[in-house]
A and B are shown apart, each in its own frame.
Chain A
Amino acid sequence: MLLQISEPGMSAAPHQHRLAVGIDLGTTNSLVATVRSGSPVCLPDENGRALLPSVVHYAGDKTVTVGHAAQARQNQDPANTVVSVKRFMGRGLHDVADAATPYRFVDEPGMLKLQTVAGIKSPVEVSADILTTLKARAEASLGGELVGAVITVPAYFDDAQRQATKDAAMLAGINVLRLLNEPTAAAIAYGLDNAAEGTYVIYDLGGGTFDVSILELTRGVFEVRATSGDSQLGGDDFDHRLHCWILEQAGLSQLNDRDTRLLLTKARQAKETLTDHERTQITARLSDETLVDVELTAGVFQQITAHLVQKTIAPLRRALRDARLGVDDIKGVVLVGGATRMPHVRHAVAELFGREPLTNLDPDKVVALGAAMQADVLAGNKGDDDWLLLDVIPLSLGLETMGGLVEKVIPRNSTIPTARAQEFTTFKDGQTAMAVHVLQGERELVSDCRSLARFELRGIPPMVAGAARIRVTFQVDADGLLSVSAREQSTGIEASIMVKPSYGLSDDEIGRMLRESMQHAEGDMHARKLGEARVEAESILAATRAALQLDGDLLSHDERADVEAALTSTDAAIAGHDADAVRLAAEALNEATSEFAARRMDRAVSRGLSGQKINEL
Chain B
Amino acid sequence: MTFDFSLPHFALFGLPTTFALDRNVLDAAYRKLQAEYHPDRFAAADDAQKRLSLQIATQVNQGYQALKSPLARARYLLQLNGVDTQEETNTAMPVDFLMQQMEWREAIGDAKAARHGDALEALAVEIAAATQTQIAELGQLLDQQQDWLAAAAAVRKLRFLEKLAEEVDDAIDVVMF
Q: Which residues of A contact B (CB under 8 A)?
A: 1-9, 11-12, 177, 218-221, 223, 313-314, 317-318, 321, 377-380, 386, 388-390, 414-420, 475, 477-478, 518-519, 521
Closest CB-CB distance, A205 to chain B, in whole Å? 18
CB of A377 within 8 A of CB of B58, answer no
Mark B49-80 against chain A: 1 for CB-CB distance below 8 A, else 0: 10010100110011011000000000000000
* B49 and A12 contacting across the interface, CB-CB below 8 Å: no
Contact check, B62 vs A219: say whether CB atoms are below 8 A apart: no
Separation of A477 and B54 alpha carbons in the complex (Å): 7
Known: A2-B4, A321-B169. 12 other contacts (CB 8 A): A2-B2, A3-B2, A11-B46, A12-B45, A219-B31, A221-B34, A313-B177, A388-B41, A414-B65, A417-B57, A477-B39, A478-B38
Is B40 on the interface with A (CB-CB < 8 A)?
yes
B44 vs chain A, min Cβ distance (A): 4
Q: Which residues of the other chain, A, contact B177 by a CB distance below 8 angstroms?
A: 313-314, 317
Q: Does B6 contact A (CB under 8 A)?
A: yes
| Interchain CB contact (< 8 A) of A1 among B5, B62, B170 | B5
In the bound complex, how far is the Cα of B44 from the Cα of A218, in angstroms? 25
- Tell whether A9 pairs with B44 under 8 Å between CB atoms, given A221-B31, A478-B57: yes
C-alpha gap A603/B58 in the complex (Å): 53
B95 contact set on A, CB distance < 8 A:
none
Given the interface pairs A221-B34, A321-B169, A378-B43, the reply to whether A7 lies near B1 with Cβ below 8 Å is yes
**A-side binding surface: helix, strand, loop or mixed?**
mixed
B72 to chain A, nearest CB (A): 12
Cα–Cα distance between A221 and B4 once the two chains are bound (Å): 23
The answer to whether A11 touches B174, judged by C-beta atoms less than 8 angstroms apart, is no
**How near does chain B come to A191, taking the closest CB pair, in angstroms?**
14
Given A1-B4, A478-B40, check contact A420 B62 (CB 8 Å). yes
When distances are taken between beta carbons in the complex, the residues of chain A under 8 Å from B174 are 518-519, 521
- Which residues of chain A are near B92, meaning CB under 8 Å? none
A389 touches B40 (CB 8 A): yes
B166 → chain A, closest Cβ, in Å? 9
Between B38, B43, B54, B65, the greatest number of chain A beta carbons within 10 A of the residue's beta carbon is seen for B43
Task: Determine if A388 and B40 form an interchain contact, defined as CB atoms under 8 angstroms apart.
Answer: yes
* Complexed CA–CA distance, A328 and B83 (Å): 39
B149 contacts the other chain (CB 8 A)? no
Cβ-neighbour of B39 out of A417, A420, A518 (below 8 A):
A417
Q: Please give, as numbers and ranges, the residues of chain B lying within 8 Å of A11 by CB-CB distance.
A: 45-46, 49
| Given A221-B31, A417-B54: A317 and B44 interface contact (C-beta under 8 Å) | no
Q: Are B48 and A5 in contact (CB under 8 A)?
A: yes
Considering the chains assembled together, what is the distance between the CA atoms of A5 and B45 in angstroms? 11
* B22 located at the interface, meaning its Cβ lies under 8 Å from any Cβ of chain A in the complex: no
Which of B2, B5, B31, B39 is the one whose CB lies under 8 Å from A478? B39
Which of A1, A219, A378, A418 is the most central at the interface, judged by chain B CB atoms within 10 Å of its CB? A418
Are A386 and B43 interface neighbours, CB within 8 A?
no
The answer on a CB contact under 8 Å between A419 and B58 is yes
- When distances are taken between beta carbons in the complex, the residues of chain A under 8 Å from B96 are none
Determine the chain B residues whose CB is within 8 A of the CB of A386 once the complex forms: 35
A12 (CB) vs chain B CBs: closest residue: B44
Given known A-B contacts A313-B177, A388-B40, A417-B54, A8 and B49 have beta carbons under 8 A apart: yes
Contact B27 A218 (CB under 8 A): yes
The answer on a CB contact under 8 Å between B62 and A418 is yes
| A4 close to B44 (CB less than 8 A) | no
Complex: how many Å from CA A388 to CA B60? 15
Closest Cβ–Cβ distance, residue A222 to chain B (whole Å): 10
A219 neighbours in B (Cβ, 8 Å)? 31
Q: Assess A6 versus B49: contact at CB under 8 Å? Given A415-B61, A419-B62.
A: yes
Q: Provide the residues of chain A in CB contact with B170, threshold 8 Å.
A: 518, 521
Q: Which residues of A contact B64 (CB under 8 A)?
A: 415
Find the residue from B2, B3, B44, B58 having the highest chain A CB count within 10 A.
Answer: B44
Can you list 18 A-B contacts (CB < 8 A)?
A: A1-B6, A3-B5, A8-B1, A12-B44, A221-B31, A221-B35, A313-B177, A314-B173, A388-B31, A388-B40, A415-B61, A417-B54, A418-B61, A420-B62, A477-B39, A478-B40, A518-B170, A521-B170
**Minimum C-beta distance from A321 to chain B (A):** 6
B104 within 8 A of A: no
The residue from B3, B34, B45, B58 contacting A8, defined by CB atoms under 8 A apart: B45
B160 at the interface (CB under 8 A from A): no
B43 and A380 contacting across the interface, CB-CB below 8 Å:
yes
Indicate whether A6 sits within 8 Å of B1 (C-beta atoms), given known contacts A388-B40, A478-B40, A518-B174: yes
- Most chain A C-beta atoms within 10 Å of own C-beta, residue among B4, B5, B42, B64: B42
Question: Top 6 A-B pairs ranked by shortest CB distance?
Answer: A380-B44, A478-B39, A378-B43, A221-B31, A417-B58, A12-B44
Closest to A391 in B: B40
- Closest chain A CB from B42 CB (angstroms): 6
User: Which single residue of chain B is at the shortest CB-CB distance from A218?
Assistant: B31
Cα–Cα, bound, A389→B58 (Å): 15
When the two chains form the complex, which single residue of A5, A12, A414 contacts B52, counting CB atoms closer than 8 Å? A5
Whether B1 contacts A4 by the Cβ 8 Å rule is yes
List residues of chain B with CB within 8 A of the CB of A3: 2-3, 5, 52
Complexed CA–CA distance, A489 and B57 (Å): 25
A184 CB to nearest chain B CB (Å): 12
Taking a contact as CB atoms closer than 8 A, the residue among A8, A377, A475, A518 that contacts B173 in the complex is A518
Tell me whether A8 and B41 are in contact in the complex, defined as CB-CB below 8 angstroms, given that A2-B4, A221-B34, A478-B54 are known contacts: yes
- Which residues of chain A are within 8 angstroms of B54 by Cβ–Cβ distance? 417, 477-478
Q: How far is the CA of A388 from the CA of B32 in the complex (A)?
A: 10
Best-surrounded residue of A177, A388, A475, A518 (most CB of chain B within 10 A): A388
Please, how many angstroms separate the alpha-carbon atoms of A418 and B38 in the complex? 11
Interface string of B8-38 (1 = CB under 8 A from A): 0000000000000000000100010011001
CB distance from A405 to the nearest CB of B (A): 14
Q: Which residues of A contact B61 (CB under 8 A)?
A: 414-418
Q: Is the CB of A8 within 8 A of B42?
A: yes
- How far in angstroms is the closest Cβ of chain A from B37? 9
> Which residues of the other chain, A, contact B35 by a CB distance below 8 angstroms?
220-221, 386, 388
The smallest C-beta distance from A352 to any residue of chain B, in angstroms, reads 11
Instruction: Determine the chain B residues whose CB is within 8 A of the CB of A519 once the complex forms.
Output: 174
- Contact residues in B for A218 (Cβ distance below 8 Å): 27, 31
Q: How many angstroms between the C-alpha atoms of A587 and B155 in the bound complex?
A: 28
